[in-house]
Amino acid sequence: MQAASLPATAGWHWVLDGFRLFRKQPLAMFTWAMAISLLLSIALNTPPFGPLIALLLMPTITLMTLSACKHVEADRVMLPSMWIKPLKQPGVFKRMFLMGIAYASAALIAGLASFLPFTRDLVEGLRAASVTDSLVPFLEAARVPLAIFAVLYLIIAALFWHAPALKAWHGTKMVQALFFSGIACWRNKWAFLVYGFAWLAVFMGLDLITGVLVFAGVPLTFASTLKMPFTIAAAGVMYCSFYPAYTSVFGGGEYPRGATEQPV
Protein backbone atom coordinates (compact mmCIF):
# COMPACT_ATOMS: atom_id res chain seq x y z
CA MET A 1 0.00 0.00 0.00
CA GLN A 2 1.10 3.56 -0.74
CA ALA A 3 0.03 6.29 1.71
CA ALA A 4 0.47 10.01 1.06
CA SER A 5 1.83 12.26 3.77
CA LEU A 6 -0.31 15.39 3.49
CA PRO A 7 0.16 18.95 4.79
CA ALA A 8 -2.00 20.18 7.68
CA THR A 9 -4.15 22.20 5.25
CA ALA A 10 -5.43 18.93 3.77
CA GLY A 11 -7.73 18.61 6.79
CA TRP A 12 -9.58 21.75 5.75
CA HIS A 13 -9.70 20.59 2.12
CA TRP A 14 -11.39 17.37 3.26
CA VAL A 15 -14.15 19.47 4.81
CA LEU A 16 -14.55 21.53 1.63
CA ASP A 17 -14.56 18.42 -0.56
CA GLY A 18 -17.17 16.86 1.73
CA PHE A 19 -19.37 19.91 1.23
CA ARG A 20 -18.86 19.65 -2.53
CA LEU A 21 -19.97 16.00 -2.51
CA PHE A 22 -22.95 16.79 -0.29
CA ARG A 23 -24.14 19.49 -2.71
CA LYS A 24 -24.18 16.97 -5.55
CA GLN A 25 -26.91 14.86 -3.90
CA PRO A 26 -28.01 16.67 -0.73
CA LEU A 27 -31.28 14.77 -0.26
CA ALA A 28 -29.62 11.33 -0.37
CA MET A 29 -26.83 12.27 2.02
CA PHE A 30 -29.16 14.19 4.34
CA THR A 31 -31.41 11.11 4.55
CA TRP A 32 -28.40 8.90 5.26
CA ALA A 33 -27.18 11.23 8.00
CA MET A 34 -30.67 11.26 9.51
CA ALA A 35 -30.78 7.44 9.47
CA ILE A 36 -27.40 7.23 11.24
CA SER A 37 -28.52 9.83 13.80
CA LEU A 38 -31.67 7.81 14.49
CA LEU A 39 -29.65 4.61 14.86
CA LEU A 40 -27.22 6.25 17.29
CA SER A 41 -30.08 7.81 19.26
CA ILE A 42 -31.79 4.43 19.66
CA ALA A 43 -28.49 2.76 20.56
CA LEU A 44 -27.58 5.29 23.24
CA ASN A 45 -31.04 5.03 24.80
CA THR A 46 -31.05 1.23 25.02
CA PRO A 47 -28.01 0.32 27.13
CA PRO A 48 -26.10 -1.92 27.47
CA PHE A 49 -26.74 -3.74 24.19
CA GLY A 50 -27.63 -0.70 22.08
CA PRO A 51 -24.17 0.92 22.19
CA LEU A 52 -22.56 -2.50 21.63
CA ILE A 53 -24.65 -3.09 18.49
CA ALA A 54 -23.76 0.39 17.23
CA LEU A 55 -20.04 -0.41 17.63
CA LEU A 56 -20.48 -3.75 15.87
CA LEU A 57 -22.12 -2.04 12.88
CA MET A 58 -19.70 0.89 12.66
CA PRO A 59 -17.33 -0.62 10.04
CA THR A 60 -20.34 -1.65 7.94
CA ILE A 61 -21.83 1.86 8.15
CA THR A 62 -18.44 3.37 7.29
CA LEU A 63 -18.11 1.19 4.19
CA MET A 64 -21.67 2.00 3.08
CA THR A 65 -20.94 5.72 3.52
CA LEU A 66 -17.71 5.58 1.54
CA SER A 67 -19.33 3.52 -1.23
CA ALA A 68 -22.20 6.02 -1.47
CA CYS A 69 -19.73 8.89 -1.72
CA LYS A 70 -17.89 7.00 -4.46
CA HIS A 71 -21.14 6.80 -6.44
CA VAL A 72 -21.89 10.47 -5.81
CA GLU A 73 -18.39 11.45 -6.95
CA ALA A 74 -19.02 9.50 -10.17
CA ASP A 75 -22.34 11.38 -10.66
CA ARG A 76 -24.45 8.27 -10.18
CA VAL A 77 -27.86 8.91 -8.62
CA MET A 78 -28.08 7.13 -5.27
CA LEU A 79 -31.11 4.86 -5.42
CA PRO A 80 -32.32 3.01 -2.28
CA SER A 81 -31.06 -0.33 -3.62
CA MET A 82 -27.54 1.06 -4.06
CA TRP A 83 -26.94 1.64 -0.34
CA ILE A 84 -26.60 -2.06 0.46
CA LYS A 85 -24.88 -2.93 -2.82
CA PRO A 86 -21.33 -3.02 -1.33
CA LEU A 87 -22.50 -5.58 1.24
CA LYS A 88 -23.69 -7.97 -1.50
CA GLN A 89 -20.15 -8.63 -2.65
CA PRO A 90 -19.08 -12.15 -1.56
CA GLY A 91 -17.76 -12.15 2.00
CA VAL A 92 -17.85 -8.37 2.49
CA PHE A 93 -20.53 -8.24 5.18
CA LYS A 94 -18.84 -11.06 7.09
CA ARG A 95 -15.52 -9.23 6.99
CA MET A 96 -17.13 -5.98 8.14
CA PHE A 97 -18.96 -7.77 10.96
CA LEU A 98 -15.74 -9.41 12.13
CA MET A 99 -14.08 -6.01 12.05
CA GLY A 100 -17.02 -4.68 14.07
CA ILE A 101 -16.41 -7.37 16.69
CA ALA A 102 -12.76 -6.33 16.84
CA TYR A 103 -13.75 -2.67 17.11
CA ALA A 104 -16.29 -3.27 19.87
CA SER A 105 -13.86 -5.52 21.75
CA ALA A 106 -11.09 -2.93 21.55
CA ALA A 107 -13.41 -0.20 22.84
CA LEU A 108 -14.63 -2.45 25.67
CA ILE A 109 -11.08 -3.35 26.70
CA ALA A 110 -10.09 0.32 26.60
CA GLY A 111 -13.06 1.17 28.81
CA LEU A 112 -12.21 -1.53 31.35
CA ALA A 113 -8.53 -0.58 31.38
CA SER A 114 -9.44 3.08 31.92
CA PHE A 115 -12.12 2.82 34.60
CA LEU A 116 -11.47 -0.38 36.59
CA PRO A 117 -8.34 0.94 38.38
CA PHE A 118 -10.40 3.92 39.58
CA THR A 119 -13.48 1.95 40.73
CA ARG A 120 -13.10 2.98 44.39
CA ASP A 121 -12.76 6.68 43.52
CA LEU A 122 -15.74 6.51 41.17
CA VAL A 123 -17.93 4.82 43.79
CA GLU A 124 -16.95 7.40 46.41
CA GLY A 125 -17.60 10.21 43.91
CA LEU A 126 -21.02 8.76 43.10
CA ARG A 127 -21.85 8.47 46.81
CA ALA A 128 -20.76 12.07 47.42
CA ALA A 129 -22.82 13.20 44.44
CA SER A 130 -25.94 11.52 45.87
CA VAL A 131 -25.37 13.16 49.26
CA THR A 132 -24.68 16.67 47.95
CA ASP A 133 -27.21 16.38 45.09
CA SER A 134 -24.48 17.55 42.70
CA LEU A 135 -22.58 15.76 39.95
CA VAL A 136 -19.38 17.70 40.65
CA PRO A 137 -17.79 15.08 42.98
CA PHE A 138 -18.45 12.28 40.48
CA LEU A 139 -17.18 14.32 37.53
CA GLU A 140 -13.99 15.11 39.44
CA ALA A 141 -13.49 11.40 40.20
CA ALA A 142 -14.13 10.48 36.56
CA ARG A 143 -11.80 13.12 35.12
CA VAL A 144 -8.64 10.97 35.02
CA PRO A 145 -10.24 7.73 33.73
CA LEU A 146 -12.09 9.71 31.06
CA ALA A 147 -8.82 11.28 29.93
CA ILE A 148 -7.16 7.86 29.76
CA PHE A 149 -10.10 6.44 27.81
CA ALA A 150 -10.02 9.39 25.39
CA VAL A 151 -6.36 8.71 24.57
CA LEU A 152 -6.93 4.97 24.14
CA TYR A 153 -10.02 5.52 22.01
CA LEU A 154 -8.15 7.99 19.81
CA ILE A 155 -5.63 5.23 19.06
CA ILE A 156 -8.45 2.77 18.33
CA ALA A 157 -10.18 5.28 16.04
CA ALA A 158 -6.94 5.75 14.07
CA LEU A 159 -6.53 2.00 13.64
CA PHE A 160 -10.08 1.56 12.34
CA TRP A 161 -10.46 4.85 10.42
CA HIS A 162 -9.36 3.58 6.98
CA ALA A 163 -9.57 -0.13 7.77
CA PRO A 164 -13.09 -0.87 6.36
CA ALA A 165 -12.18 0.49 2.90
CA LEU A 166 -8.77 -1.20 2.92
CA LYS A 167 -10.38 -4.50 3.85
CA ALA A 168 -13.35 -4.33 1.45
CA TRP A 169 -11.85 -2.55 -1.56
CA HIS A 170 -8.29 -3.88 -1.50
CA GLY A 171 -8.77 -7.27 0.14
CA THR A 172 -6.23 -6.42 2.82
CA LYS A 173 -6.04 -8.73 5.83
CA MET A 174 -7.58 -7.25 8.95
CA VAL A 175 -4.34 -6.91 10.90
CA GLN A 176 -2.66 -5.29 7.90
CA ALA A 177 -5.65 -2.98 7.35
CA LEU A 178 -5.50 -1.81 10.96
CA PHE A 179 -1.74 -1.31 10.72
CA PHE A 180 -1.94 0.62 7.43
CA SER A 181 -4.76 2.78 8.79
CA GLY A 182 -2.89 3.60 11.98
CA ILE A 183 0.31 4.48 10.14
CA ALA A 184 -1.58 6.61 7.61
CA CYS A 185 -3.37 8.51 10.39
CA TRP A 186 -0.08 9.09 12.22
CA ARG A 187 1.61 10.42 9.08
CA ASN A 188 -1.30 12.81 8.58
CA LYS A 189 -1.86 13.68 12.24
CA TRP A 190 -1.68 17.45 11.64
CA ALA A 191 -4.22 17.23 8.83
CA PHE A 192 -6.52 15.21 11.10
CA LEU A 193 -6.00 17.76 13.88
CA VAL A 194 -7.16 20.56 11.58
CA TYR A 195 -10.00 18.35 10.36
CA GLY A 196 -11.16 17.60 13.90
CA PHE A 197 -11.01 21.22 15.04
CA ALA A 198 -12.92 22.30 11.94
CA TRP A 199 -15.82 19.97 12.72
CA LEU A 200 -15.68 20.85 16.40
CA ALA A 201 -16.05 24.51 15.42
CA VAL A 202 -19.00 23.72 13.13
CA PHE A 203 -21.01 21.85 15.77
CA MET A 204 -20.08 24.26 18.56
CA GLY A 205 -21.16 27.10 16.25
CA LEU A 206 -24.58 25.48 15.83
CA ASP A 207 -24.89 25.20 19.63
CA LEU A 208 -23.82 28.83 20.00
CA ILE A 209 -26.43 30.03 17.50
CA THR A 210 -29.09 28.04 19.36
CA GLY A 211 -28.00 29.63 22.63
CA VAL A 212 -28.19 33.11 21.09
CA LEU A 213 -31.71 32.42 19.85
CA VAL A 214 -32.79 31.25 23.31
CA PHE A 215 -31.15 34.31 24.87
CA ALA A 216 -33.07 36.50 22.40
CA GLY A 217 -36.36 35.06 23.63
CA VAL A 218 -36.98 32.16 21.25
CA PRO A 219 -38.46 29.16 23.13
CA LEU A 220 -35.89 26.44 23.76
CA THR A 221 -38.07 23.75 22.16
CA PHE A 222 -38.48 25.78 18.97
CA ALA A 223 -34.77 26.69 18.84
CA SER A 224 -33.77 23.05 19.29
CA THR A 225 -36.21 21.97 16.59
CA LEU A 226 -34.84 24.64 14.28
CA LYS A 227 -31.30 23.47 14.97
CA MET A 228 -31.99 19.80 14.19
CA PRO A 229 -32.03 19.89 10.35
CA PHE A 230 -28.87 22.01 10.28
CA THR A 231 -27.13 19.54 12.61
CA ILE A 232 -28.16 16.60 10.43
CA ALA A 233 -27.02 18.45 7.30
CA ALA A 234 -23.65 19.21 8.93
CA ALA A 235 -23.34 15.52 9.86
CA GLY A 236 -24.11 14.62 6.23
CA VAL A 237 -21.30 16.88 5.03
CA MET A 238 -18.99 15.33 7.63
CA TYR A 239 -19.80 11.82 6.41
CA CYS A 240 -19.14 12.95 2.84
CA SER A 241 -15.74 14.26 3.93
CA PHE A 242 -14.67 10.72 4.93
CA TYR A 243 -14.28 9.86 1.24
CA PRO A 244 -11.76 12.57 0.25
CA ALA A 245 -9.91 11.85 3.51
CA TYR A 246 -9.44 8.30 2.25
CA THR A 247 -8.77 8.93 -1.45
CA SER A 248 -6.24 11.71 -0.82
CA VAL A 249 -4.21 9.39 1.41
CA PHE A 250 -4.52 6.04 -0.39
CA GLY A 251 -5.17 7.16 -3.96
CA GLY A 252 -8.18 7.70 -6.17
CA GLY A 253 -7.12 11.13 -7.23
CA GLU A 254 -4.20 13.49 -7.44
CA TYR A 255 -2.33 14.19 -4.23
CA PRO A 256 -2.66 17.75 -2.93
CA ARG A 257 0.26 20.11 -3.19
CA GLY A 258 2.84 19.35 -0.53
CA ALA A 259 1.96 15.67 -0.32
CA THR A 260 4.62 12.98 -0.45
CA GLU A 261 3.82 9.39 -1.35
CA GLN A 262 5.38 6.79 0.91
CA PRO A 263 5.00 3.02 1.28
CA VAL A 264 3.18 1.94 4.41
What is the pLDDT confidence band of residue 256, given thresholds at 50, 70 and 90? very low
Segment 129-145 mean pLDDT:
84
The whole-angstrom separation of Cα 185 and Cα 160 is 10
The domain limits of the chain are: 2-263
Q: Express each pLDDT in 212-250 by its tens digit.
A: 999 999 999 999 999 999 999 999 999 999 999 999 999
pLDDT in the model for residue 134: 78
Per-residue confidence at 190, pLDDT binned at 50, 70, 90? very high
Q: Check if the beta carbon of residue 224 is closer than 8 Å to that of residue 210.
A: yes
Asked whether residue 136 carries a pLDDT value surpassing 90, the answer given is no
* Predicted model pTM: 0.88
Question: Residue 263: is its pLDDT beyond 60?
Answer: no
pLDDT at 139 over 90: no
98-107, 183-192, 225-234, 252-261: which has the minimum mean pLDDT?
Answer: 252-261
Burial 203-240 (b: 16+ CB within 10 A, else e): eeebeeebeebeeeeeeeeebeeeeeeebbbbbbbbbb
Answer whether residue 260 shows pLDDT above 80: no
CA 134 to chain centre: 32
Beta bridge partners of 261: 4
Q: pLDDT confidence of 261, banded at 50, 70, 90?
A: very low
- Considering only residues 202 and 2, tell me which one the structure prediction assigns the higher pLDDT: 202
Helix or strand or coil: residue 91? coil
Q: What is the pLDDT of residue 22?
A: 97
H helix and E strand count, the chain: 10, 2
